[in-house]
Every structure is written in structure tokens, then in C-alpha cells.
Amino acid sequence: MTPGTVPLLLWSALVVAAAESEAEREMRGMMEEQREMRDLMEEQVRALMEEQMRALMEEQRGMRALMEEQMRALMEEQREMRALMEEQMRALMEEQMALMEEQRGMRALMEEQRGMRALMEEQRGMRALMEEQMRMRALMEEQMRALMEEQMRALMEEQRVELRHTKAQLDTMETRLRASEKLVQQLRSDIAGNLNLTGSQMEREERRVAFSASLITSGHVSVGPANTNLTLIYRNVITNIGDAYNNKTGIFTAPVRGVYYFTMFIYGSGHNWVSVGGSLSKNKEHVVIAYCHLPHGKASASNGASLLLEVGDQVFVILYTDSWVRDSYNHHTSISGHLLFPM
């Protein structure tokens, strides 16, 4: 390096340093300006942000006031809606209560209709039963008419036979009357002889006791059922030797002390609730019973007993309650009794 070049280099260095210092100053100025600009911008931004925040807060206040107003309006509307709903609920409950009352009334009406239907069914059954009874009555009347006609024909035929028999008997009686005129004198002598009967023969006559009787002489009759026990009165006397049986009271009274035999025959119609039967009684004490119970058709029974009776003891037949007997011209229901031997 030459001495002439040193100042040039120094000068160049100084120029460079001066240029660098100027550039640094410019840079520092620019940086300072940038700081100021930044500060200004930050101040403006802060001011803007504060203004925006204030506007936003003001807007929020307005919004809050609006929302509060809307909330108050909404709450008021909700209150009105709640009141309206409560009113509607009350009206609905009242309507439901009215509907329930109506349903109860409908249920009661349906129950009443069921009762009416059951009553109508029962009435139909009763009507059918009455029609059946009317048919049965008509059938029974028809059968009764046919039976009565048949019985009348049989009776008329029997009467014709009896009439012919009676005519024959009259002829025979006329013949006998003629013959009896020849025996009058002999009978007068026989009567005188009969007046001389001994005491033992009269006693034997008194000890001849026997009877038979039925309820009626002709026609048809039913006795019972009754609320109390009845004494059967056998009014048709078939035999009454010794006159110990009374057909007015139905009671046999023992004339002598001895052993008697009694038998009874009972006849009637079958029924679901009524039986056919009678009790042979001695002085109101039950001895034996003749009993039969059939739901339909004809029923009959019989029984008998030997009894030791004192003079004045009574024998009769009792018809119990809820029992009946029947008799006709055929004499189905009868009683018989006789003295076996005296004691």
C-alpha cells in the first residue's frame, strides 16, 4: 500500500461510515415514525374499539332491554296461556265429568235394558209356557171329552145290560113271588120258631163284624192336598156287618174286644211335588202307611195290619199334608176290616 492510497481508503471508510450513520438515522427515524404510527394506530384502534365497545354495549343494553321487554311480554303471554290452559282444563274436566255422568247414566240405562231384556225373555218363556199349558189343557180337555164319551158309552152299555138283567130279574122275582105265596104259611111257622133263639146264638150274631167301603159311589173325585191332616171318609159302603163303620165320619169303632184285620188301598195321579199316600191309625196313633210318589202317570199303594182292639177303640185312615188320593166308579181307593176272633 502506498502512502497516497491511505487517505483514500480512510476517506472511503469515512464516507461509508457517514453513509451508514445517515442510513441508521434514517432507519431510526423510520422506526421512530413507525413507532409513532403504531402508537397512533393503536390509539385509534383503542379509540375505535372503545367506541365500538361502547356502541356494542349500548346495543347490548338495548338488546337486553328489548329482550327483557320481550321476556316480560312472553311471560305475560305465558301467564295468559297458562290461565287459558287452566280455563280449558277446567272446562275439559267439567266436560269429562259431564261425560262420566252421562256414561254412568248410559251404564244404568244399559243395566235397565238388560233387566228389561231378561224380563222380556222371561215373559217370552212365560208366554211359551202358557201356550204349552193351553195346548196341554186343550189336549187334556180333548182327552177328557174322549174319556167321558167312552165312559158314557160304556155306562150306557152297562145300563143296557143291567136293564136287560133287571128285566130278567123282574121276571124271576115275579115267578118267585108266586111261589112265595105258597110258602107264607110255612114262613109264619118258621118265624115263630126263630123267636126261640138261645142266648149263645145271639152272642155269635153280635160277634160277626166285617166291612168294606170306598170313597165314592160313582163319578170321579180327588181329595187333597190340604194344609192339615185329613181323615178320609169312605162314603160308599160295600159291606157293613155289625154296623161298626160310620160312613159319615170315616171311623170304625170296635164293638167287641178282639183281633181285627184291616187293609187299605190307595190310588192317585203322579206329580212332581204331591205324593199319593195314607196312614192307618188307631186312636190317632200311626200304625202303617201306604205311600207312593211318581212324577207322572198313575200311582197306587196298599198296606194292612192285624190289631188288638178294646171295645170303643177307633180305626181310620189319615191323609197327610201335600198328599192326595183319587177314586172313581171303579172304587180304586178303599178300606176293609173284619174281626178275626174275639178275645
For 320-340, the pLDDT digits (tens) are 777 778 788 888 888 899 999
Rounded distance between C-alpha atoms, residue 329 and residue 221, angstroms:
10
Nearest partner of 326 among 236, 227, 212, 223, judged by Cα: 223
Considering only CA atoms, which of 263, 196, 273, 210 is closest in space to residue 240?
210
- pTM, rounded to two decimals: 0.42
The span from the CA of 165 to the CA of 184, in Å, is 27
pLDDT at 202: 47
The least confident of 13-17, 190-194, 274-278 is 190-194
Q: Of residues 116 and 193, which shows the higher confidence score?
A: 116
Look at 78-87, 135-144, 196-205, 235-244 and tell me which has the smallest mean pLDDT. Answer: 196-205
**233, 329 in Cβ contact below 8 A?**
no
How far from 47 is each of 38, 56, 141, CA to CA, in Å? 14, 13, 132
Amino acid at 192: A
Measured CA to CA, the distance from residue 7 to residue 18 in angstroms comes to 16
Q: What is the pLDDT of residue 119?
A: 82
Contact 306, 239 (CB under 8 A): no
- Cα distance between residue 41 and residue 56, in whole Å: 21
- CA–CA dist 63, 251 (Å, integer): 127
Mean pLDDT across 147-165: 67
Could you tell me the pLDDT band of residue 169, with boundaries at 50, 70 and 90? low
| Phi, psi (deg, nearest 5) at residue 274 | -120, 130
Asked if the model's pLDDT at residue 27 lies above 90, the reply is no
| pLDDT (average), residues 246-253 | 92
Angle of the 184-194 helix axis to the 5-182 helix axis, nearest 10: 110
* Higher per-residue pLDDT: 300 or 179: 300
Give the pLDDT band of residue 198 (cuts 50, 70, 90).
Answer: very low
Peptide bond preceding 225 in cis form (omega within 30 of 0)? yes
Indicate the average pLDDT of the chain.
80
For residues 93-105, average pLDDT: 87
Residue 103 pLDDT grade (very low, low, confident, very high; cuts 50, 70, 90): confident
Q: Which residues pair with 339 in a beta bridge?
A: 260
pLDDT at position 293, please?
Answer: 72
Please tell me the distance from the alpha carbon of residue 143 to that of residue 122, in angstroms, as a whole number: 30
Distance spanning both ends of the chain, measured CA to CA: 209
Residue 117 has pLDDT above 90, yes or no: no
Burial of 333 (0-12, 13-18, 19+ CB in 10 A): buried
pLDDT average, residue stretch 157-184: 64
**Least confident span in 50-64, 69-83, 160-174, 279-293:** 160-174
Mean pLDDT confidence for 298-310: 87
Q: Which three cell numbers stand for residue 300?
A: 197306587
DSSP track, 150-165 = HHHHHHHHHHHHHHHH
Is the pLDDT confidence value at 194 over 60?
A: no
